[in-house]
Structure formats: C-alpha cells, structure tokens
C-alpha cells in the first residue's frame, strides 16, 4: 500500500504536536507543584531552631505533618514578594482530627530586623559571635538562670512590652495559669519563661490571646498555637475598612459592637483594664456572621485594677478623662495623646471610648484617609429621622470632645443604647 507524501507529513506533524503537548503538560505540572507545594512544613521557615527564643512549640507537630495548608493565592510562593505583610501573614486551613477544618491566620510576629536585633543581643551578652546559635546562647545568660524565681522573673518582664508597663505581679501569675505553651502541667519551666520573655520583647499578642481567651468571651481571635516564630490564630474575617460603604444598619451594628468592646475592655470580671493604643481600621476585623474582633494586640496596655486599688496613687478613684487635642494628619498611635502613667494610676479611664469614637466612628480622627466614606467615619450619613430621635451626632461629638466634666462617660451608655436600638430596625 502506498502512503501519499501529504498524509505522511500530516502524521509526522501530529506526532510532534502530541509530543510537545506532553512536554508542556509536564513542565507546567512541575512548575505548579514547585510553586504551590505546602512550604509551611519546612522547619527553616518557622525557625524552630531558635526555640526557646520563640513564641512556642505547641503547633510544630501539626505543621510538620502538613496539617496546615495555605489558602488561595498564599499557596503561590512567588507571590510572597508582593505586599509588605505577605511574607509574615498567611491565610491557611488547619485540619485536625478533633476539630475538623478551621480557618486560621499564621502570623510571623516581629519585623525581621527586630528579631535579628534580639538574636544579636543574646549572642553578644553570651559573649558569642553575632550569628551564634541563640537556642544555646540563651542558657548562658545570668538573668535566665535566675528567672526560676517568680518575683525576679516578674521584674525582668517589667517594661518589656505594653502589657507589662504598669506594675502587677497578679498579671504574671494569671499568665502562668493560662499559659498554653507550657511544657509541663504542674509548673512553668525555665524554658517556658524564656519563651514568655522573648514573646513579650517582640510582640505581646500571643500572651494576651492566651490570657484573655476568645472562648471566655474576650473580643479577640482564638489562640491556636505557635511554632518557632509563627503563631496561629483564628481568622477574624475582613478588615473593618471594608465596611465603610456598607448599609446603615450593618454599620450601626459594627459601631455597637465596637462600643461594647470598649466597655468590656474597660470593666470586666478579671479586674484588668485593657486599653487600645493603636486604634485604626486595620486592627479590627468583621467575620462572615458580622462579629467584630480586635486582631492586633501588640499595643494593648494592661492595667491591674486591684493593684491600683491597693497602691492608691493620687486620684486613683476618679475616672481618668482623656483630653481631646488636635493632631492633624496623624494616627491615634503616632499622635500619642494619652499617658501610660495616668492610665496606670486610675482604676477606670474613658480612654477606649474616646479612641473608638474619635478614630473609628466620627470624622474627628484628623488623619489622612483618602476614601471619602472613611474620612467621614464609620457612622457617616446618619439617617435624618434617626438623628432626630436619638440625637446621635450630638452624643458622638460629646464622646469625642465633651463639654462637661465626666461628659464622655455619661454619653457612652446613651450611644450604646441608641445603637442597640438602631441596629435592630
Ligand atoms: N486574626 C486575624 N484575622 C484576620 N486577619 C488578620 C488577623 N490577624 C492579622 N490579620 C491581617 O493582617 C493584617 C496585619 O496584621 P497585624 O495588624 O496583626 O500586624 P501589624 O503588626 O499591624 O503589621 P504591619 O505593622 O505590617 O501593618 C491585619 O490588618 C489583617 O488584615
Ligand atoms: Mg496592625
């Protein structure tokens, strides 16, 4: 049988096409595998080798067993280079036999230069080379050897972070009681104390999440665990800034929850006041069910109310009143219109209400927000009938800058009552 030349060439080209198709599929498959491989299970990424100069080890087995998988675009490794947070913040799913799938955020706390500064400090104090092995250098430091004594350890923590700014030994013993990263059930070992100290120095957030758990009703994400220099926390949802254009009743509901958060952090059964000192939209999140949480706890100042009551500094019983001062173009944190010393010496302050009213709810923040809806505050465009019924704009202005003494603390309850009513309309 004779095959025509045309048919032969067609056959050859088809074979060549199929061959190239296979090569292309192979290359793209390999590239996809390389770029989307679950690289969280790499011990070097989380820096397990730095422990106990780390946040904890409770999550290491889970991570190394690949039970935490990156979500969506976070899988694509080369996208790491985009955005300042992308190499420190990963959205992921935790799959564990006892709790099923949980959406979490893996956070590398501390900026890289802060972490390397801490490592270099430990190496130099241990009289070792700059790039020494911190996990062994730390045991050479004399303060670590003395940290076994509770009173001494409490002294070392003093001033290490905002939560340890005001003096309180009760805070340290409460932290010991609630500490989930402990290696023994009956004591907080020296290794655990090094972890607590390092965490306090770099970012207190995991310590506060363990002390004030979401399960007990605190408005924070759940603390899931830590491995090396990463912590895993519950996913709080979208940033608050995504809700400035939401409908009025949703914004009223979020505002209500923010005021209730301010109330709970100021007065609670634990007798610790937690003052928010970095009040910006990005530090609050709203989940799919509309629940609001505080997702950045690095700048929370903790005041032990019982310690203030027993020390009785001048004016301790009076409600501390925050003073409104113009601060054009600055954020609440950079404006620094509060005094830690004053907050530490009063049982109660109106600080949290002031911060929420001024920097989230109203246009009085004075910062440079580009989006017009954001510039006007979360409660922009109050419907006319609601303003007439509740005098909401007046109450909010009083909350920002009261005209009478103790004016703010008097209006905040009226604001909460009004918002509670409005959000249900
Ligand atoms: N628990 C969480 N749930 C959902 N998103 C989160 C959570 N924690 C952090 N994020 C996201 O990551 C962002 C940055 O987190 P965080 O505020 O804790 O870090 P940061 O120290 O402010 O970082 P940077 O200084 O780089 O802004 C948040 O604004 C939020 O978008
Ligand atoms: Mg933040």
pLDDT of 159 > 90? The answer is yes
Best mutation site among 296, 299, 300 for ligand 1 pocket (most ligand atoms within 8 Å of CB): 296
Average pLDDT value for residue range 187-208:
97
Burial 241-264 (b: 16+ CB within 10 A, else e): bebbebebeebbbbbbbbbebbbb
Task: Kindly identify the ligand whose nearest atom is closest to the C-alpha of 84.
Answer: 1
pLDDT of 421 > 80? The answer is yes
pLDDT confidence of residue 39? 66
pLDDT of 207 > 90? The answer is yes
Neighbours of 307 (CB within 10 A): 18
Cβ atoms of residues 220 and 214 within 8 Å: yes
pLDDT of 255 > 80? The answer is yes
For residue 283, how far is its CA from the centre of ligand 1 (angstroms)? 7
Closest residue CA from atom 19 of ligand 1: 296
For residue 12, how far is its CA from the centre of ligand 1 (angstroms)? 57
Name the token pair of 370.
């580009």
9-18, 33-42, 402-411, range with greatest mean pLDDT: 402-411
pLDDT confidence of residue 16? 87
Q: CATH code for 239-423? A: 1.10.510
The structural domains of the chain, with segments of one domain joined by +, span: 1-36, 239-423
pLDDT confidence of residue 186? 87
Closest residue CA from atom 15 of ligand 1: 296
Residues with CB under 6 A from ligand 1: 84-85, 89, 105, 107, 221, 233, 235-236, 239, 282-283, 285, 295-296, 298
Closest residue CA from atom 26 of ligand 1: 85
Give the integer Cα–Cα distance in Å for 286 and 44: 33
pLDDT of 53 > 50? The answer is yes
Task: Kindly identify the ligand whose nearest atom is closest to the C-alpha of 205.
Answer: 1
84 CA closest ligand 1 atom index: 26
For residue 121, how far is its CA from the centre of ligand 2 (angstroms)? 26
Residue 279 main-chain phi, psi, to 5 deg: -90, 95
For residue 296, how far is its CA from the centre of ligand 2 (angstroms)? 5
**Confidence at 36, pLDDT banded by 50, 70, 90:** low
For residue 296, how far is its CA from the centre of ligand 1 (angstroms)? 6
pLDDT digits (tens, 9 = 90+) for 292-334: 999 999 999 999 999 999 999 999 999 999 999 888 888 888 8
Element (DSSP H or E) covering residue 12? helix 5-36
Name the token pair of 215.
């399960």
Burial (CB < 10 A; 0-12, 13-18, 19+), residue 152, is exposed
For residue 357, how far is its CA from the centre of ligand 2 (angstroms)? 19
Name the strands in the sheet holding 100-108, side by side, starting at the edge strand that comes first in the sequence. 68-70, 89-96, 100-108, 230-234, 223-227
Best mutation site among 72, 89, 300 for ligand 1 pocket (most ligand atoms within 8 Å of CB): 89
Query: Token match 């759940």: residue?
Result: 222
User: Where do runs of H (alpha helix) occur along 37-89?
Assistant: 43-46, 60-64
Closest residue CA from atom 28 of ligand 1: 282
pLDDT of 131 > 80? The answer is yes
DSSP annotation of 349 reads B
Give the integer Cα–Cα distance in Å for 54 and 339: 30
- Find, among 171, 136, 126, 165, the residue nearest to 150 by Cα: 171
Name the token pair of 378.
């979360």
Q: What percent of the chain has pLDDT over 90?
A: 74
Sequence-ordered strand ranges (E) for 81-155: 89-96, 100-108
* Cβ neighbours of residue 305 closer than 8 Å, sequence gap 6 or more: 271, 272, 273, 347, 348
Give the integer Cα–Cα distance in Å for 11 and 23: 19
Closest residue CA from atom 12 of ligand 1: 89
pLDDT digits (tens, 9 = 90+) for 81-129: 444 455 688 999 999 888 899 999 999 999 999 999 999 999 999 999 9
Closest residue CA from atom 23 of ligand 1: 85
Say if residue 52 is preceded by a cis peptide, omega within 30 of 0. yes
Average pLDDT value for residue range 36-61:
86
Half-sphere exposure (Cβ direction) of 194: Cα atoms closer than 13 Å: 26
Name the token pair of 70.
């990156």
CA distances from 387 to 251, 253, 315 (A): 15, 16, 37
pLDDT digits (tens, 9 = 90+) for 261-294: 999 999 999 999 999 999 999 999 999 999 999 9
């Amino acid at each position: 049988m004779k095959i025509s030349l045309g048919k032969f060439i067609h056959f050859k080209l088809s074979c060549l096409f199929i061959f190239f198709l296979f090569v292309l599929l192979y290359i793209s498959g390999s590239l996809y595998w390389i770029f989307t491989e679950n690289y969280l299970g790499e011990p070097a990424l989380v820096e397990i080798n730095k422990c106990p100069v780390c946040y904890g080890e409770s999550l290491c087995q889970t991570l190394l067993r690949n039970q935490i998988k990156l979500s969506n675009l976070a899988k694509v490794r080369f996208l790491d280079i985009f955005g300042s947070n992308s190499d420190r913040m990963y959205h992921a799913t935790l799959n564990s036999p006892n709790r099923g799938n949980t959406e979490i955020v893996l956070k590398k706390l501390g900026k890289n230069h802060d972490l390397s500064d801490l490592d270099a400090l430990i190496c130099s104090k241990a009289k070792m080379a700059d790039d020494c092995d911190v996990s062994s250098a730390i045991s050479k430091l004399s303060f670590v050897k003395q940290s076994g004594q509770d009173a001494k350890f409490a002294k070392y923590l003093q001033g290490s972070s905002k939560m340890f700014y005001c003096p309180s030994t009760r805070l340290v013993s409460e932290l010991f009681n609630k500490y989930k990263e402990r290696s023994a059930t009956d004591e907080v070992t020296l290794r655990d104390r090094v972890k607590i100290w390092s965490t306090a120095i770099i970012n207190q957030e995991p310590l506060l999440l363990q002390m004030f758990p979401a399960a007990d009703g605190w408005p924070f994400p759940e603390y899931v665990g830590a491995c090396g220099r990463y912590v895993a926390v519950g996913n709080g949802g979208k940033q608050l800034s995504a809700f400035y254009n939401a409908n009025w009743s949703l914004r009223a509901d979020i505002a209500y929850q923010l005021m209730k958060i301010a109330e709970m952090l100021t007065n609670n059964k634990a007798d610790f006041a937690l003052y928010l000192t970095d009040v910006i939209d990005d530090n609050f999140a709203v989940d799919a069910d509309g629940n609001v949480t505080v997702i950045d706890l690095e700048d929370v100042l903790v005041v032990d109310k019982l310690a203030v009551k027993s020390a009785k500094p001048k004016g301790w019983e009076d409600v501390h009143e925050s003073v409104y001062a113009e601060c054009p173009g600055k954020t609440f944190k950079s404006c620094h219109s509060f005094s830690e010393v004053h907050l530490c010496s009063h049982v109660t302050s109106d600080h949290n209400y002031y911060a929420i009213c001024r920097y989230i709810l109203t246009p009085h923040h004075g910062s440079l927000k580009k989006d017009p809806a954001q510039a006007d505050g979360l409660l922009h465009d109050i419907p006319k009938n609601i303003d007439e019924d509740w005098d909401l704009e007046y109450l909010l202005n009083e909350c920002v800058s009261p005209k009478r003494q103790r004016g703010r603390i008097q209006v905040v309850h009226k604001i909460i009552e009004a918002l509670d009513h409005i959000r249900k309309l």
